[in-house]
Amino acid sequence: MKKTASELNGVKEIARRANVSIGTVDRVMHNRKGVSDATRLKIEAIIKELNFQPNKMASLLATRKNMNFAVLIPAVSEETDYWSYPLNGINQAAAETNQFGVTVKPYFYALDSKESFNRVAEEMLKDEPHAVLLAPSFVEDSQVLAKRINELGLPLAFINSDLAGQDNLTYIGPDLYQSGRLAAQLVSFSLKPLDKVLIINISADLRNDHHLVRKEHGFKKFFEETRSATHISTLNISETKVCVVEEALTRTLNADNTIKAIFVTNSRVNIVAEILKKHRRNDLLVGYDFLEKNIDYLKSGQIKYLICQRPKEQGYLGIMALYKHLYNVSEVERFVYMPIDIITKENYQFYNG
Amino acid sequence: MKKTASELNGVKEIARRANVSIGTVDRVMHNRKGVSDATRLKIEAIIKELNFQPNKMASLLATRKNMNFAVLIPAVSEETDYWSYPLNGINQAAAETNQFGVTVKPYFYALDSKESFNRVAEEMLKDEPHAVLLAPSFVEDSQVLAKRINELGLPLAFINSDLAGQDNLTYIGPDLYQSGRLAAQLVSFSLKPLDKVLIINISADLRNDHHLVRKEHGFKKFFEETRSATHISTLNISETKVCVVEEALTRTLNADNTIKAIFVTNSRVNIVAEILKKHRRNDLLVGYDFLEKNIDYLKSGQIKYLICQRPKEQGYLGIMALYKHLYNVSEVERFVYMPIDIITKENYQFYNG
DNA sequence: CTGAAAGCGCTTACAG
DNA sequence: CTGAAAGCGCTTACAG
C-alpha cells in the first residue's frame, strides 16, 4: 500500500520537500561534505521546520554499529568485596545496551599494585576499545593513562574518584567532604556533653590516600561550624593488619576513657568493629561501605551507621553515560554526585548496593 | 556484496538451515498458528541450538509498534508537592522509551476526592491505553478499577501503595512496616533513659489510612524487640489544619514534659515542625518525605530525619516495568521494595527525590 | 500450511 | 555534487 506524498515519514518526506534524494538528506543530517551550500541550506531549513528527529532504531539497524567499552577497575579481593557492586551495575548496563550493539569488557587490576594497574591498562589499550570507564587509583599513573586515552580521542568516564585536570566525559561518584560532614552529624546526634570522638584512618598508603583526608576534613568542619566543644582526635594507622590496628587502637583507648564515638574513614571499619567487640566495648562506630563484613557488624550492633555512595549505580551510570554519548541519546553531565546513603540495621535489607 | 550461505544472520540463517522461508520462521518465533508440527519442531530445535535472540530494533522497526501508557496518580496539590517526584520519574522514563514508540499520558485525580478519582479513571479507560500505571488511593474504588483493567487484559503496575488480591504485573513501593522500625531506631540512638516518645498520626481519614498504622506498628515493634523501657504514646489527629494540630499537640505536650521525641507517620511532619518552632521546642522530630516544606525544616534543624522512599524512582521503574513487559525486554519482578533512605541536613543536597 | 515480496526508516557503496 | 539501489533484520499482507 503506497502512501500519498504528503504522509511520507522521515528522510523521505524531507527529500520530497527539498526535491533531492534521501542520500543527500542523509549527508546533510550527518554534516558530511560533498553537498552544495544551496541544497544544504534548503535541507537544513526543512529539518528545522519539521523538527525532524531521525529514527534511532532504523539508524542503528542500518549501521549495524558495534561498540566495545573497556572497563578498568580493581578486582574483588580477599579483603573487600566492594568492587563487586560497581561490577554488578556495569553488567546490568551491559545487558541493557547489548541489544544496541554494545559489548562491555572488564579489565581488573590489583588494588595494591601499580605494576598490575599499568600492565592491565596496556592490555586494555591493545584491544582498541571505543570508550573507557576508569576507576582511577594511583593518581599519577592514572593521569598518564587518561592522557593517552584522550589522545586516542576516546570518551572516558571516571567512577569512584575523580582525577583533576583531565579531559574526561564525566565523573560519577561521591562528594567525600560532604560524606564526612554527614558522619559527624550522625555522631553528634548521639553524643553526650563530655564524650570525645576518635577519627581513625587506616591505609597502607596514608600519604597518597587523599580520600581519607577529605572525609576527615568534612567531619571536623561540621563540629567546628556547629561550635561544638567536642574533643576530636585522629589516629593514623598505616597498616591494615588486625593486630597492628588493635595495638594502636588499644593504646589510644586506654589513654583516654572518655572516647565514646569512633569514625573510621573508609571501609576498614570492620577491623575496628572486630577489635571493639573483642574488648566488649560499645562505642558509637561509624564507617563506610556496604561490604558483607560490615553488614555483619551492623546486624550485631557493633557498627551503628554505614555511609554508602551507591557503588552499583556508579557502575551502571558510568556505562550508560558512555552509551548515551556515543549513540547521541542525550547530553552527559560532567559531574554526577551520588546521593549519600545512610545504612543501619533497620534498612540494609532493602539496599541494593 | 553477497554473503556466503554460512554467514547469514538471524531469521535468514534459521530459514536456510530449516529449509523454509523466513515467513515461517517468524510464525514459529511468535507462536502463530498455521505451521505444521514437523516444521515447527524443526525450527524450534534450530532456534534453540543457535540460542537465537531476534534483533529487537529490527522487530520494532518492522512493526512500527506504538503504545500508549496511562498513568493515574494524584495531582500535585497546594498542600504537598510529593507527587511531583513520581511524575518526574515517569517523565524521564517516557523520554527514554519514546524512541521505541511509547507515549505516556498522565491523568491526575484530586487526592481528597473519590469522585475525582473515579471520573478521571473513566476518562483514562475511554482513551484505551495499552497499559496502566496506578497509584491506588481509596482502596475499594481502586480495587474495582483494577478488576476492570485486568478484564481488559491490560498490564497494570502499582506504585506507592499495594492493593491486595489483584492480578497486577508489579508493585513498586515502600515497605511501610520496616520504615517505621527504622524511624524507631533513629530515635533510639538519641534517646536518654527517661525520655518519652510521641507518635502522631495526622490524616483526614484516619480509619482508612492503613499506611499510618503499618508504620506505627513497625515503630512500636522495634522498641518492643529491643526490650526498651521507653514509654510511647500515640496522638491521632483527624484534621490537617495547623490550628487543630496545634491545639491537640499543645495539650499533649503540656500534660507530659518528659516527651522528647516525636515521630510523625507521614509527610505532614512540617505542620508539627512549625508548631514546635513557634513554641521554641527542640524535640527530636522524625517524619516522612522529601517535600520542600520538610526540607526547609531539615535545614533549620527543627526536623532531624526525613525518611524517603525514592518517589521519583518509583515512577521511573513503574513505566519501565510496563515497557519491559510489553516489549519483551526482560521479566518483571512482582514486588519491588524501594530502599529506605534517611535524609538529614547534611545529605539532602545530593538526594534526587 | 508455506513462500515471495514489499516495507519499516536509515545508511552505504557505487556510478555518474 | 547528487541519485538510484541494495541492505540492515524483522513483519506483514497476499497468493497459492
Which tens digit of pLDDT belongs to each residue from B73-90? 999 988 788 999 999 999
What burial letters (b/e) apply to A313-322, b meaning 16+ CB within 10 Å? bbbbbbbbbb
Please indicate, yes or no, whether residues A166 and A260 belong to a single structural domain of this protein: no
Burial degree of B348 (CB within 10 A; 0-12, 13-18, 19+): middle
Do A99 and B185 make contact, defined as CB atoms within 8 angstroms? no
Closest residue of A to B176, CA-based?
A: A347
| A336 inside domain | no
Percent of chain B at pLDDT exceeding 70:
98
DSSP A75: P
**Model pLDDT, residue A5:** 44
B84, B291 Cβ separation under 8 angstroms: no
Quickly state the pLDDT bin for B3 (edges 50, 70, 90).
very low
Q: Which run of H or E residues covers position A231?
A: strand A231-237
Give the span between the Cα atoms of A211 and A326, in whole angstroms: 31
B304, B282 Cβ separation under 8 angstroms: no
Mutate to test the interface with B, among A350, A351, A352 (most CBs of B within 10 A): A350
Give the span between the Cα atoms of B188 and B219, in whole angstroms: 10
Give per-10-residue mean pLDDT for chain A (353 aa): 56 92 92 90 92 86 86 91 95 87 94 94 95 93 96 94 91 96 97 94 86 95 92 95 96 95 96 97 96 96 97 96 83 94 98 89
Q: Check whether residue A40 has its CB closer than 7 Å to nucleic acid strand C.
A: no
A344 CB near a chain B CB, below 8 Å?
A: yes
Q: Which three cell numbers stand for residue A203?
A: 591505609
Tell me which residue has cell 503540656: B254
Whose CA is nearest the C1' atom of nucleotide C9? A58
With 70 as the cut, is the pLDDT of residue B7 above it? no
Please indicate, yes or no, whether residues A77 and A162 belong to a single structural domain of this protein: yes
3-state helix, strand, coil in chain B (%, to 5): 50, 20, 35
Q: In Å, what is the separation between the CA of A93 and the C1' of D1?
A: 43
Q: In Å, what is the separation between the CA of A58 and the C1' of D8?
A: 8
User: Chain A, 50-79: which CBs lie within 7 Å of strand C?
Assistant: 54-55, 58-59, 61-63
Contacts of A119 (CB under 8 A, 6+ apart): A109
Quickly state the pLDDT bin for B5 (edges 50, 70, 90).
very low
With 80 as the cut, is the pLDDT of residue B211 above it? yes
CA distance B298 to chain A (A): 13
**Model pLDDT, residue A7:** 62
Give the span between the Cα atoms of B108 and B121, in whole angstroms: 9
Tally C-beta pairs within 8 A across A and B: 86
Please indicate, yes or no, whether residues A257 and A316 belong to a single structural domain of this protein: no
User: Chain B, 58-77: which CBs lie within 7 Å of strand C?
Assistant: 58, 61-62, 64
**CATH number of the domain within which A12 lies:** 1.10.260.40
Do B304 and A189 make contact, defined as CB atoms within 8 angstroms? yes
B260 CB near a chain A CB, below 8 Å?
A: no
Helix axes A269-278, A242-255, angle to 10 degrees: 60
Using the CA of A32, give the nucleotide whose C1' is nearest: D1
Helix axes B269-278, B242-255, angle to 10 degrees: 60
Q: In Å, what is the separation between the CA of A64 and the C1' of C7?
A: 19
Quickly state the pLDDT bin for B34 (edges 50, 70, 90).
confident
Burial degree of A292 (CB within 10 A; 0-12, 13-18, 19+): exposed
With 80 as the cut, is the pLDDT of residue B45 above it? yes
Strand D-proximal protein residues, Cβ less than 7 Å: A 19-24, 27, 33-40, 58, 61-62, 64; B 1-3, 9-12, 22-23, 26-27, 29-30, 54-55, 58-59, 61-63
Q: Which amino acid is at B134?
A: L
**Model pLDDT, residue A34:** 86
Give the span between the Cα atoms of A67 and A85, in whole angstroms: 24
Region of B31 on the Ramachandran plot (φ > 0 left; ψ -120 to 50 alpha; else beta): left
Please indicate, yes or no, whether residues A185 and A162 belong to a single structural domain of this protein: no
B228, B162 Cβ separation under 8 angstroms: no
**CATH number of the domain within which B276 lies:** 3.40.50.2300
B256, B319 Cβ separation under 8 angstroms: no
Whose CA is nearest the C1' atom of nucleotide D10? B59
Do A189 and B189 make contact, defined as CB atoms within 8 angstroms? yes
Mean pLDDT lowest among B181-190, B205-214, B294-303, B316-325: B205-214
CA distance B46 to chain A (A): 21
B240, B204 Cβ separation under 8 angstroms: yes
Please indicate, yes or no, whether residues A210 and A288 belong to a single structural domain of this protein: yes
With 80 as the cut, is the pLDDT of residue B215 above it? yes
B100 CB near a chain A CB, below 8 Å?
A: yes
Closest residue of A to B309, CA-based?
A: A350
- β partners of residue A317: none
Q: Which three cell numbers stand for residue A9?
A: 515519514
Closest residue of A to B219, CA-based?
A: A346
A8 CB near a chain B CB, below 8 Å?
A: no
Using the CA of B32, give the nucleotide whose C1' is nearest: C1
Nearest to A265 by CA among A314, A315, A197: A197
Contacts of A322 (CB under 8 A, 6+ apart): A69, A131, A133, A155, A157, A169
Gyration radius (Cα) of chain B, Å: 26
Please indicate, yes or no, whether residues B159 and B43 belong to a single structural domain of this protein: no
**Model pLDDT, residue B22:** 93
Please indicate, yes or no, whether residues A188 and A297 belong to a single structural domain of this protein: yes
A306, A264 Cβ separation under 8 angstroms: no
User: Chain B, 10-29: which CBs lie within 7 Å of strand C?
Assistant: 19-24, 27
Q: In what order do the strands lie in the sheet with B341-343?
A: B232-237, B196-202, B259-264, B284-288, B305-308, B341-343
**Strand A102-109 to strand A67-74: parallel, antiparallel, or no bridges (unpaired)?**
parallel
| Number of compact structural domains in chain A | 3
Please indicate, yes or no, whether residues B208 and B326 belong to a single structural domain of this protein: no
Do A351 and B339 make contact, defined as CB atoms within 8 angstroms? yes
Cα A188 versus chain centre, distance: 28
Please indicate, yes or no, whether residues A230 and A281 belong to a single structural domain of this protein: yes
Average pLDDT over residues B28-50: 91
Quick: pLDDT tens for B298-310.
Answer: 999 999 999 999 9
DSSP B235: E
Please indicate, yes or no, whether residues A288 and A185 belong to a single structural domain of this protein: yes
Give the span between the Cα atoms of A91 and A69, in whole angstroms: 12
**Strand A305-308 to strand A341-343: parallel, antiparallel, or no bridges (unpaired)?**
antiparallel
Give the span between the Cα atoms of A290 and A82, in whole angstroms: 7
Using the CA of B22, give the nucleotide whose C1' is nearest: C3
Q: In Å, what is the separation between the CA of A22 and the C1' of D9?
A: 21
Tell me which residue has cell 551492623: A298
B218, B177 Cβ separation under 8 angstroms: yes
**Strand A67-74 to strand B232-237: parallel, antiparallel, or no bridges (unpaired)?**
unpaired
Contacts of B283 (CB under 8 A, 6+ apart): B259, B260, B261, B262, B276
Bases of chain C below 7 A from a protein C-beta are 1-5, 7-13
Closest residue of A to B191, CA-based?
A: A190
Q: In Å, what is the separation between the CA of A21 and the C1' of C16?
A: 15
B268, B238 Cβ separation under 8 angstroms: no
| B193 inside domain | yes
Q: Which of A61, A222, A339 sits opposite B352 (nearest CB)?
A: A339
End-to-end Cα separation, chain B, in angstroms: 53
Do A340 and B350 make contact, defined as CB atoms within 8 angstroms? yes
Q: In Å, what is the separation between the CA of A151 and the C1' of D5?
A: 39
| B315 inside domain | yes
Give the span between the Cα atoms of A256 and B225, in whole angstroms: 34
B52 CB near a chain A CB, below 8 Å?
A: no
**Model pLDDT, residue A55:** 86
A1 CB near a chain B CB, below 8 Å?
A: no
CA distance B61 to chain A (A): 6
For residue B64, how many other CB atoms are within 10 A of its CB? 9
| B199 inside domain | yes
| A32 inside domain | yes
| B345 inside domain | no
B351 CB near a chain A CB, below 8 Å?
A: yes
Nearest to A111 by CA among A122, A103, A120: A120
| B60 inside domain | no
Q: Which of A58, A182, A349 sits opposite B346 (nearest CB)?
A: A182
Quick: pLDDT tens for B253-290.
Answer: 999 999 999 999 999 999 999 999 999 999 999 999 99
Residue numbers of the domain that contains A123: 66-174+312-329
**Strand A196-202 to strand A170-173: parallel, antiparallel, or no bridges (unpaired)?**
unpaired
Q: Check whether residue B35 has its CB closer than 7 Å to nucleic acid strand C.
A: yes
DSSP string computed for B79-103: S--TTHHHHHHHHHHHHHHHTTTEE
Q: Which three cell numbers stand for residue A188?
A: 553528634
Please indicate, yes or no, whether residues A226 and A320 belong to a single structural domain of this protein: no
Please indicate, yes or no, whether residues A77 and A148 belong to a single structural domain of this protein: yes
| A161 inside domain | yes
B346 CB near a chain A CB, below 8 Å?
A: yes
Using the CA of A43, give the nucleotide whose C1' is nearest: D2
CA distance A27 to chain B (A): 22
